A = this chain, B = another copy of it.
């Protein structure tokens, strides 16, 4: 297979971004089909793409003969069923995080994936493909800072999406850190606790910001801040302090401006500029693996299950006054 024909399910911001990236910037991939329950939205995303078809039925997309592989970027509640359907159809899947909203469903997906023993599900923990996170991981692995002891992860956004809940801050935003931290450290999260200051006035009825504490099996301690309504910009930070030094993601900036008594660089309004490269490179790596017939280097459904188990433990802590909770990853 020299060109992979991809079907994208979901034509919201994320799905549209994937269609655009696959079509414009990924070598070896073409988008042959886009599905959305709102078929007109699917058609709008396709726009002027010449040979791409829209459908309102994601299962039709999955079974279509001109679809070699499936990207699942529809609503979180649909991830499990659609991923399973694609796996059963013998087609590789790239499922956006989370694998499923509940741990039980995650288990169901992983079991079904194993049972079918097909091409497998990749999970869209795209930070693993962000050049800055990769450089950070490589530096940690090379011992630049010595053995890691303390990590600090910060995820700040301008304002919470409509429908945000305390749990969604954890399963939708913090979950990225639940994958990134063990990936960076090569050590699983074993214990968590949840904390919060008073909430920002901008967060109606929401606990925002939240601060989580994670312990990994290697003995390191991580704090994770999620602040959906930080207001000033989309700002992702990650710092590692180790036995010999410290490492941190640099503030991404291309241009420095001197104006009006200040030296400044800009923050983006959302994740797209910050992680455009990560999404592109993740899609490219997924495509390359399919073209060459090698295993996908992306996060797996199993990784998604583990991250969801961490999220569940954090939610348990949140509901129990911030007490320390052990992470329990279900056997599959």
Give A contacts to B, CB under 8 Å.
Answer: 2, 23-27, 29, 50-51, 131-132, 135-136, 139, 144-147, 149-150, 152, 156, 195-202, 209, 211, 213, 215, 218-221, 223, 225, 227, 230-233, 235, 241, 243-269, 284, 288, 322, 324
Contact = CB atoms under 8 A, between A and B. Distances in A.
B221 A195 contact: yes
14 contacts: A131-B254, A132-B254, A139-B255, A150-B211, A197-B220, A200-B243, A202-B243, A230-B245, A248-B255, A248-B256, A250-B253, A250-B254, A261-B269, A263-B266
B211 A198 contact: no
Contacts of A251: 263
Given A232-B259, A255-B139, A262-B264, A149 B198 contact: yes
Contact of A255 (B241, B250, B288): B250
Most buried by B among A144, A199, A258, A268: A258
Nearest to A230: B241
B150 A209 contact: yes
A248 B267 CA distance: 16
A204 B225 CA distance: 31
A144 B156 CA distance: 17
Nearest to A131: B254
Contacts of A135: 254-255
Quickly give the copy total for this chain.
Answer: 4
Contacts of A24: 27, 284, 288
Contacts of A200: 146-147, 149, 243
Contact of A259 (B152, B245, B269): B245
A25 B284 contact: yes
Contacts of A223: 211, 223
Most buried by B among A196, A246, A249: A246
Contact of A27 (B27, B131, B196, B248): B27
Contacts of A258: 145, 232-233, 235, 245-248, 267
A51 B213 CA distance: 52
Contact of A232 (B132, B232, B246, B269): B246
Contacts of A284: 24-25
A245 B199 CA distance: 14
Contacts of A149: 197-200, 209, 227
Cβ-closest 8 pairs across A and B = A198-B219, A245-B259, A264-B264, A197-B221, A132-B254, A246-B258, A250-B253, A262-B264
Contacts of A243: 200-202, 231
